[in-house]
Amino acid sequence: MEHESKLRLRYLLASTLLGLACASATPIEGVVRPEPGGAFLESLPGPMPDFGPFDTFSDALLAACSEILSKPNATSRHAGALDDQLRLRISTEYCGWLYYTPDHKYEMSMLTDQSRLDAPNQRKSCELPPRVNDRRYPPGSLKYIFALHNHPFGSTLSKFDIHFIVSAGQELGFEAETRAGKVRIAVIAFFSNSSQPGRPACDGFFQYVPLTGQLLKWSNTGGRWSCEQTGAIVWDAPEAFHIEKRTAPCSGSTEVAP
């Protein structure tokens, strides 16, 4: 009897969450998508409505974490007894840009959930357009700071993430001059450890800074932030790299300081 109850609960959870996954085809506030059957978006509109602007990138980053993780299926931690394949089907990555404007403010673009299948892991990876179109400013006047996205499973940065931000840096620049000084471009992957659906807590993010090669993990425990370096990217060839494991505090790191 207990076994039947567990199976029934599992079925209800699966039905509910699959329904949410299907509902992801419906419009989501703050999220833009290609036309049905159309090519991937080549730019994202900006700014995100009711977001900022912010005077510091750290304030903008924390607000972006909460905004992105609040989107449907942005975290799979609450999936409970569901198996891994079902978790993969219902999880969704959202991505966008944090950028610096000629008004010396930090803004976030609209988000997208356009994705490609990461075949080895059978996960959908958000395909971030390389540009932001903010019609308030002339083309080319924006400075790109962080490529933002969520990792529904709380996993570390992928090879795709690393290659993307290096390519973006080569095109857009690896650092931006701001009123407060130079800020280095980086890729950010937010995660939540929350087991409850709704608006998950921002429990941290993974970060890779191409100019330093550092892989960092920022954690939020009870409102207090801490950082550790988990590794470093070492390039063996223009398109190939390996990760050297390095565990150390982020002393002296000012790339992101929530």
Residues whose CB falls within 8 Å of the CB of residue 253, separated by 6 or more in sequence, listed in order: 214, 216, 227, 229
* Domain encompassing residue 200: 2-249
Q: How many domains does the chain have?
A: 1
d(CA 249, CA 153): 24
Predicted local distance difference test score (pLDDT) of residue 121: 56
Predicted local distance difference test score (pLDDT) of residue 199: 73
Average pLDDT on 163-188 reads 96
Note whether residue 254 is domain-resident. Answer: no
Note whether residue 237 is domain-resident. Answer: yes
Average pLDDT on 208-235 reads 94
Note whether residue 211 is domain-resident. Answer: yes
Predicted local distance difference test score (pLDDT) of residue 3: 44
Note whether residue 257 is domain-resident. Answer: no
d(CA 205, CA 41): 25
Note whether residue 30 is domain-resident. Answer: yes
Q: What is the mean pLDDT of the chain?
A: 85
Higher pLDDT, 1 or 203: 203
Note whether residue 258 is domain-resident. Answer: no
Backbone angles phi, psi at 52, to 5 degrees: 70, -155
Note whether residue 255 is domain-resident. Answer: no
Predicted local distance difference test score (pLDDT) of residue 243: 94
Q: Give this prediction's pTM.
A: 0.85
pLDDT in tens, 43-65: 999 999 999 999 999 999 999 99
Res. 135: pLDDT tops 90: yes
Higher pLDDT, 177 or 195: 177
